[in-house]
Amino acid sequence: MDRALFRGTPPELAAQREQLLAEVRRGEQMKAVGTLAAGLAHEIKNPLASIKTFTESLGTHYDDRGFRDKFQKIVGGEVERINLIVQQLLEFAKPMPPKLQPLQVPRLLDETLEFLNSEFVQRHIQVSRHYDGAGEILGDPQQLKQVFLNLFLNSLQAMNGQGRLEIIARQEGSELVIGIQDNGCGIASKDLPHVFEPFFSTKPNGTGLGLAVVHGIIQEHGGTIEITGEIDHGTHAILRFPLALGSR
């Protein structure tokens, strides 16, 4: 049938299919590069505009102490914002391979929560933890702390004033399941399919790279992440990692 319809031998048709697949992959890569370039240009354009405006005014307002203080604060902040965008883009585009070792995830979760303890106290956030027979996984502790820190910070930013953050870790068959749930502002259903896309953000000052980096790290660990949520009903992130062989 292949020879009759497509005019070729099986090896020739296989080569043609590989060539078509390669062209599709190149097209997808170019599309991804275009998306990244457009997003990067948009994110960097705004802080550069602020820096340009203040720099142009510096000559005529240099003797104004208040202007100089404002210049130092705003320009320094915008440069730091550009640096953050570039750093996150590098982490997204060229992620470091994880240095895998046996890990107790509850310990990593506790260490990351401890890092944010002053924020929880200041914002009156109640944190509850439920660890139920969580076995070991193979992971990179620093990369996974980056994942947890990003998700916890997202929850903090979503909770205006008092709030509640719940973290669970439990073993389900051959997987370790981690749940991170808050009662913050939630995510609109139309936005949920896009939360892991580079430069997509619902925050006024978000870079849109944090969750893209998180998604990449989790994939490198052989895991998955799913985020659900409703407006005014909070957000729930569910992470799944394969257990280390000795923990199954």
Range scoring the smallest mean pLDDT among 21-35, 63-77, 177-191: 21-35
SS3 235: strand
Residues 151-177 have pLDDT tens digits of 998 898 888 777 899 999 999 999 999
As a whole number of angstroms, the distance between CA 68 and CA 135 comes to 55
φ, ψ dihedrals at 76, nearest 5°: -60, -40
As a whole number of angstroms, the distance between CA 43 and CA 36 comes to 10
φ, ψ dihedrals at 45, nearest 5°: -60, -45
Structural domains of the chain, with CATH: 10-93 (1.10.287), 101-247 (3.30.565.10)
Percent of the chain with pLDDT over 90: 28
DSSP state of 244: P
Name the residue with tokens 């070991």. 136
Top-confidence residue, 181 or 12: 181
Longest dimension (CA), the chain: 84
Residues 186-245 have pLDDT tens digits of 888 888 888 888 777 776 666 667 888 888 899 999 999 999 987 777 899 999 999 987
Q: What per-residue confidence (pLDDT) applies to 18?
A: 67
As a whole number of angstroms, the distance between CA 111 and CA 159 comes to 21
Q: Which amino acid is at 121?
A: V
Q: What per-residue confidence (pLDDT) applies to 5?
A: 47
> In sequence order, what are the residues at sequence separation of 6 or more whose Cβ sits closer than 8 angstroms to the Cβ of residue 79?
47, 51
